[in-house]
Amino acid sequence: MAAQTGKAVSRVHAVYEQIRQDILAARLAPGERLKVNPLCERFSASLTVVREALTRLAEQGLVSFEPQAGFSVVTLDAEGLTDLTDVRVQVENLAVTWSIERAGLAWETGVVAATYALGRTSQHIPGDSGEMSEEWAAAHAAFHTALAGGCGSPVLMEIRAGLYDRSELYRRWAQPVVREGRDVHAEHAAIAEGALGRDAAAATSLLERHLRRTAEILLTSGLIAPGAGGPQQGRQRAEPAAGSAPTVA
């Protein structure tokens, strides 16, 4: 019985991760309906497994549920991004502050390695599309996780992971943007330097500026609706003014 239970949990997690990756990679559009039966067929999974996976995604804010309409990918709007950013700044800064206060050499080593890896990874795939590379997205997530990772609080890390994913959804759907006017690696390196120097005031100030700058770029890009609305199918991208939208990170 225990083996069967473990297998079911593992299957739910596998389906959850596949749908999550489809959302974060923008293969599923904001507002897109997530019909349970087609997903069951796609993943060769039971209704129970798919519903549980979708419920977990809803708990993390990547999926919404309406009793009559069912599950769908969350929609993107300016009001939601502003609220998300305000909360994320508080949570990320708390995690970094606790890391600085509590963590030791292992945490420092992890931050150094993550910063180096991020700086050595190209942000965009080759060509003119401006699409974010999956390698950079993974390195970026690893960097912010490493910064927060010494906080010593699994609950806080779980909360920040959900907020990061929701922010990533905005960032992915606002790509591509003009690649000038912002040295993203310098921002990351400065945050890391403040953290490794055990200067919580500097690290959190730089981190807040970094997160709010990203939100500001998205809010002024014309790529996100001004308020909550209906499904946003497909990439309805406005053309940014030349030089007006620096790289989002």
CATH code where residue 94 lies: 1.20.120.530
**In this structure, are 62 and 99 located in the same domain?**
no
Question: Is residue 206 included in any domain, yes or no?
Answer: yes
| pLDDT (average), residues 200-223 | 90
Q: What is the mean pLDDT of residues 76-81?
A: 89
Number of domains, the chain: 2
Query: Structure pTM?
Result: 0.75
Q: Which residue has the higher pLDDT, 89 or 236?
A: 89
Domain that residue 44 falls in = 2-73
* pLDDT surpasses 60 at 159: yes
According to DSSP, the β-strands at 63-66 and 70-73 are antiparallel
Least confident of 68-72, 77-81, 128-132: 128-132
Provide the pLDDT confidence category of residue 4 given band limits of 50, 70 and 90.
low
How far apart are the C-alpha atoms of 133 and 121, rounded to whole Å? 9
* Beta pairing partners, 219: none
Residues 133 and 186 in one domain: yes
Both tokens of 207, joined, read 């981190």
Average pLDDT, integer, range 164-181: 71
pLDDT over 70 (residue 28): yes
**Average pLDDT score over the chain:** 85
* Mean pLDDT across 62-68: 90
Asked whether residue 100 is domain-assigned, the answer is yes
> Which of 42-46, 124-128, 228-232 is predicted least confidently?
228-232
Q: What is the pLDDT of residue 239?
A: 39
Euclidean distance between CA atoms 221 and 6, whole angstroms = 45
Alpha-carbon distances, residue 31 vs 116, 124, 205 (angstroms):
36, 26, 34
Q: Which residue has the tokens 């949990």?
A: 9
146 and 182 co-located in one domain: yes
> Scanning the structure block, which residue is given the tokens 């910063």?
115
- 140 and 101 within one domain: yes
Residue 101 shares a structural domain with residue 65: no
Tell which wins on pLDDT, 129 or 166. Answer: 166
Quick one: 83 and 185 in the same domain? yes
At 6, the pLDDT band (50, 70, 90 cuts) reads low
Q: Where are the beta strands (DSSP E) in the chain?
A: 63-66, 70-73
Whether the per-residue pLDDT at 142 is higher than 80: the answer is yes
Highest-pLDDT range among 90-104, 119-133, 180-194:
90-104
CA dist., res. 33 & res. 64, Å (int) = 10
Shared domain check, 109 and 39: no
What sections of 28-178 are H helices per DSSP? 36-43, 47-59, 78-102, 105-119, 134-148, 154-173
Task: Give mean pLDDT, residues 74-85.
Answer: 91
- Are 43 and 88 within one domain? no
Q: What is the pLDDT of residue 218?
A: 83
Residue 224, C-beta contacts closer than 8 angstroms, at least 6 positions apart: 76, 77, 78, 81, 170, 173, 174, 218
Q: What is the pLDDT of residue 229?
A: 42
**What pLDDT was estimated at residue 132?**
75
Instruction: With CA atoms as reference, report the closest residue to 246 among 123, 162, 145, 137.
Output: 123
Q: What is the pLDDT of residue 247?
A: 53
**Is the confidence at residue 219, as pLDDT, over 70?**
yes
Domain termination site, one of 73, 108, 127: 73
- Can you tell me the mean pLDDT for 159-173? 88
